[in-house]
Amino acid sequence: MSRFKKIKGDEGESIASDFLISIGHEILKRNYRFLYCEIDIISIKEEVLYFSEVKFWKEFESFDPRFTFNFAKQTRMRKAASGFLSENLSLQNHFVSFCLVSINEKRDVNIILIYFEIVIQILSTSTEFLNCLRVLKEESLKSLQGSNYEEHHDFRESGRI
């Protein structure tokens, strides 16, 4: 990774962390690594653990950051989340959410909930652990968070996640 990309990435992660703190999150870890996998920010709010990927782009008009959150990236994040939870057993009964936090050059922050899972139990290996996660459908997420949930929502205005 070039020095410029590293500096830009660190800046984006700092902006995202500050924003998450401002809406009530406690940051547990930044740049968590497990094997070859990384999660930019791990935070907690109430009974939900948020595993967040941060994208800091100059211009979003011609590019949707969700395209960078492909299957391979999601798989690596799930493995890293599994590693984190296996190291932090006290968090095993929390809901788990994977997020994409996008930031533009004006420092506007947008959080996209990719999917929401419930941790059923934690087992010793990543494969077993991932097999024990149940993905909830959109209707289940809406029932948990009420009708205010939107998949792609600008949280600067509402101050909630």
Six token digits for residue 34:
């497990």
Reply yes or no on whether the pLDDT at 79 is more than 60. Answer: yes
**Residues listed for the chain:** 161
| 82 within 8 A of 129, measured Cβ to Cβ | yes
Six token digits for residue 156:
């600067």
- Which pLDDT tens digit goes with each residue over 109-133? 766 665 544 333 333 344 444 444 4
- Which pLDDT tens digit goes with each residue over 10-34? 788 888 888 889 888 999 999 999 9
**One-letter amino acid for residue 88 of the chain:** N
| 91 within 8 A of 85, measured Cβ to Cβ | yes
The boundaries of the domain holding residue 86 are 3-158
Q: How far is CA 143 from CA 12, 37, 137, in A?
A: 32, 32, 10
Report the CATH number at residue 149.
Answer: 3.40.1350.10
Query: Mean pLDDT of all residues in the chain?
Result: 69
Q: How many CA atoms lie within 13 A of 70 on its CB side?
A: 3
Number of domains, the chain: 1
